[in-house]
Amino acid sequence: MAAEYANASEYIKHHLGHLTLGDKETFWAIHVDTMFFSILLGAVFLFIFIRAARRMTTGVPGGLQNFVEILVEFVDQQVKDSFHGRSKVIAPLALTLFVWIFLMNIVKLLPYDLLPYLAHMAGLEYLRINPTSDVNATLGMSIAVFFLIIFYSFYIKGVTGFSKEIFLKPFGIWFLPFNFVLKVVEEIAKPVSLALRLFGNMYAGGLIFTLIALLPWWIQWTLGLSWSLFKLLIITLQAFIFMVLTIVYLSMAHEDH
Amino acid sequence: MNINLTLLGQMITFGLLVWVTMKFVWPPIIQAMQERQKKIADGLAAAERGKHEQQLAEEKAKQVLQEAKQQAAEIIAQAQKRANEIVEASKDTARIEGERIKATAQSEIEQEVHRAREELRKQVGAIAVVGAERILKKEIDPKAHDQVIQDLVAQI
């Protein structure tokens, strides 16, 4: 497909473009491809899991139920390992994060040019099917997690408790502004690192696929196959890391230091 | 990487997904799993209890058997003792009865002998009288000689 473009850099640039509605230079634009595929994959996740939840039986589980139960038990175990309080939100949140991110990552392994090519034929200029290589998607999740962290910090420790933590730790009352700046940096670092870790991995992975696609067709499969297999590990690992760190951050918000 | 409205859209999408998972996905699954866990635990406990009860029952059966055997042995011993007693008692009664019969027979024999002797005596007296009558060939007043005859009879 690379042949259709004037040169390699144009091909790469094209593949990094989003199908966008609105003015790209301002905040008031929306990446339709990211939204569409993330909602589609979220729907896939909900469809599978609600189906399984409806058909849950306490007797001998069937195939789908087994699969869902393995995932649920795995997530539940992770939550129990690092979170010692009681919360109705954290475990479902972790499950959603893990499965949704995994699904959004794995669409990356579809033939790289196929969907954009089809979209091109349908008249859409840009199409990126992998939502997690859009920083808006990863930041969206991590900022939501950040709000939860702030909410739980106030909810569990109370306004005074959390304020004390913000202003008086770690150096005591005489370093009040310094403590505050330190805490702000600490809290801001959480969502930013969460989002950028996932985004960076997926973005770079996509870029490598783009480069592989620029190779002659008869050699592509060697690198493409090995990179896809490697990527399969990465996408699972990244989904897992995002989930575990979220659980850890939320459990930190629940506990006094 | 320009940040735009997509960010808000993604946050809303994520929030909705989490909410739906929290409401409709997680509770039924976790509940069913816990219920199954409880069911399995109950089953295992019941099996354990059953095993224990069987053991107890076996022990009890053994005990009952032992008791029954002991009782049977006791009963047999008692019966034997009783039989011996009965045999002894019947031996005694037989001996006593025999002795009694012997005594009766003896007394009867004695009576018989006595009677026979009396009879003989009477007959001998009569024979003597008849003999004397024949010898004397005369009328003898039985009244007058009765004393004599009585003496004779007594002598025989």
Contact criterion met (CB < 8 Å) for A95 and B24: no
Q: Residues of B13-40 as b/e, b for ≥16 C-beta within 10 angstroms?
A: bbbebbebbbebbbebbbebbeebeeee
What is the C-alpha to C-alpha distance for residues A75 and B21, in angstroms, rounded to an integer? 13
Nearest residue in B to A148, CA atom: B15
Nearest residue in B to A34, CA atom: B6
Select from A51, A66, A141 the residue whose CB has the most chain B CBs within 10 Å, as the one to mutate to test that interface: A141
The percent of residues above 90 in pLDDT, for chain A, comes to 38
pLDDT, average across residues A178-197? 92
Active centre residues of A (catalytic): 193, 197, 201
pLDDT, average across residues A215-234? 88
Total domains in chain A come to 1
Contacts of B42 in chain A (CB under 8 A): none
Low-confidence ranges of chain B (pLDDT < 70): 1, 138-142, 144
Contact criterion met (CB < 8 Å) for B29 and A54: no
Q: Average model confidence (pLDDT) for chain A?
A: 86
Residue B137 φ/ψ region, left for φ over 0, alpha for ψ in the -120 to 50 degree band, beta for the rest: left
Percent of chain B as helix, strand, coil, to the nearest 5: 90, 0, 10
| Closest by Cβ to B17, choosing from A30, A96, A135 | A96
Nearest residue in A to B18, CA atom: A93
Contact criterion met (CB < 8 Å) for B22 and A100: no
**pLDDT tens across A16-61, in order?**
778 888 777 778 888 888 899 999 999 999 999 999 988 888 888 8
Question: What was the pLDDT predicted at A31?
Answer: 87
Under the banding of pLDDT at 50, 70 and 90, the label for residue A1 is very low
Question: What was the pLDDT predicted at A198?
Answer: 94
Contacts of A135 in chain B (CB under 8 A): 1, 3
Contact criterion met (CB < 8 Å) for A29 and B5: yes
Select from A56, A67, A135, A199 the residue whose CB has the most chain B CBs within 10 Å, as the one to mutate to test that interface: A56
Question: What was the pLDDT predicted at B75?
Answer: 96
What is the C-alpha to C-alpha distance for residues A31 and A11, in angstroms, rounded to an integer? 19
| Closest by Cβ to A27, choosing from B4, B25, B31 | B4
Residue B2 φ/ψ region, left for φ over 0, alpha for ψ in the -120 to 50 degree band, beta for the rest: beta
What is the C-alpha to C-alpha distance for residues A137 and A35, in angstroms, rounded to an integer? 8
Contact criterion met (CB < 8 Å) for A93 and B32: no
Q: Does position A108 have pLDDT exceeding 90, yes or no?
A: no
Contacts of A144 in chain B (CB under 8 A): 11, 14-15, 18
Of the two residues A5 and A74, the one the predictor is more confident about is A74
| Listed residue (A204, A92, A172, A76) closest to B26, CA to CA | A92
Nearest residue in A to B6, CA atom: A30
The parent domain of residue A161 ranges over: 2-254
| Closest by Cβ to B17, choosing from A35, A42, A203 | A42
pLDDT, average across residues A235-245? 94
- Per the structure block, which two tokens stand in for A127? 């199409």
Contact criterion met (CB < 8 Å) for A39 and B8: no
Q: Does position A232 have pLDDT exceeding 70, yes or no?
A: yes
Question: What was the pLDDT predicted at B146?
Answer: 76
Question: What was the pLDDT predicted at A2?
Answer: 43
Going by C-beta distance under 8 Å and a sequence separation of 6 or more, which residues neighbour residue A75? A91, A94, A95, A98, A243
